[in-house]
Amino acid sequence: MLSNISQAIRQQLQFPEHDQLILDGKLFPIDKNKFNPILATTNFSANTSTFIDGGQAEILSAGNFCLSFIRIVAQTFSGRTKKGYQKQEFYLFTKAIWKNEEIFYESTFFPLDNQPLIAGGDLFISSMDLSIKTGIERAPITRIANMARRLAELHLAAQINTDFTILDGTLEATFSGEEHYLARIKETACALAKTSALFTTSGNNPTVLLRKLSPSGCWQYDVDNKTSFVKLHPQAKHIFRFQRNSEGDNRILALLAAQSDDALFLGYPYGLILADQLARVSNAERQALRMNFLLRKENREVVEYLNATNAHDILDNLG
């Protein structure tokens, strides 16, 4: 049986001579003559660049409410020299309420520095909103933390005074209301995505196909005026999707290529590696935050409530 499964998988790994990339409902023929070299800049001190990423952890969850901890970091460089970073941390409490014959999720921010990045009203959303629901089921309340983190990253990106702003992910709106935050970021903002949900018409992942067709060295493959695929180091094993907020501005690619020589993740900009490390909420930190809350005497009733709703966790622990 395993041989049959292997054969079925190998049959899927076919690369036809003519293929087309699907982007925003349009077809773009893949052409091996569209690869252009990226030359890493040697003028490191000419520009400042800020890399933004976020981390989060679920502290408490009981189906009808959720408490999360979110950290957003903006790490700035002058050329390749670190120039400090900004950090925003907050707790997000989300609860389910009944309104207009439907369950809505309502959120409250508890910032650690008294400077909330976004308004709680921007997270007031129906549990059946198409941008957060899963299939035909209403969205889990824990999904709101993902939305809050994304909006906070975009808000911070709009506030930073820097030559270039680089976000982890894409510049596409996936949550309701996100387009308003995207409209505020600067023209020189861009995004680099580690994964891509795009397909070709043959069902392939375009990054795999482009890697097979690509020349040696660092390169960019422009799909349209704002979307490219890039290889940022000659020995890199990964290809990333790159999006610009302004058409045809490729100056940042030379700077990113110059930053993508760290052995921790060859071909990935060190600024994004560092922003991820600074923003990440580890399992140990999550557990400490959780215990610090649950061990408080006034939260005894909360503990009893959680214990009455954690049957699934009990089964998980048995495994």
The candidate with the shortest Cα–Cα distance to 185, out of 218, 211, 162, 210, is 162
In angstroms and rounded to an integer, the radius of gyration of the C-alpha atoms of the chain is: 22
pLDDT greater at residue 247 or residue 276: 276
pLDDT digits (tens, 9 = 90+) for 9-18: 777 777 777 8
pLDDT digits (tens, 9 = 90+) for 225-273: 899 999 999 999 999 999 998 765 677 899 899 999 988 899 999 999 9
> Tokens 């008294």 belong to which residue?
114
What is d(CA 235, CA 246) in angstroms, rounded to the nearest whole number?
29
Average pLDDT over the chain, rounded to an integer:
88
pLDDT of 107 strictly over 60: yes
CB 293 within 8 A of CB 69: no
What is d(CA 279, CA 158) in angstroms, rounded to the nearest whole number?
18
Q: What is the mean pLDDT of residues 19-45?
A: 85
Alpha helix positions (H), 24-66:
none
CATH code: domain 22-310 is 3.30.2170
What is d(CA 48, CA 251) in angstroms, rounded to the nearest whole number?
12
pLDDT greater at residue 311 or residue 214: 214
Question: Distances from the Cα of 161 to the Cαs of 50, 76, 82, 242, 273, in angstroms?
Answer: 9, 10, 15, 22, 21
Is the dihedral angle over the CA atoms 277, 279, 285, 287 positive or is it negative?
Answer: negative
What is d(CA 144, CA 124) in angstroms, rounded to the nearest whole number?
9
What is d(CA 58, CA 195) in angstroms, rounded to the nearest whole number?
23
In the chain, the amino acid numbered 107 is S
Largest CA distance in the chain: 67
Q: What is the mean pLDDT of residues 127-135?
A: 91
pLDDT of 283 strictly over 90: yes
Q: Which residues of 284-294 are buried (b: 16+ CB within 10 A; e: fewer)?
A: eebeebbeebe
- Can you give the pTM of this predicted structure? 0.90
pLDDT of 81 strictly over 50: yes
Q: Where are the domains of the chain?
A: 22-310
pLDDT for the residue 46: 67
Q: What is the mean pLDDT of residues 59-64?
A: 87
Decide the pairing of beta strands 199-200 and 20-23: antiparallel
pLDDT for the residue 316: 54
pLDDT for the residue 315: 46
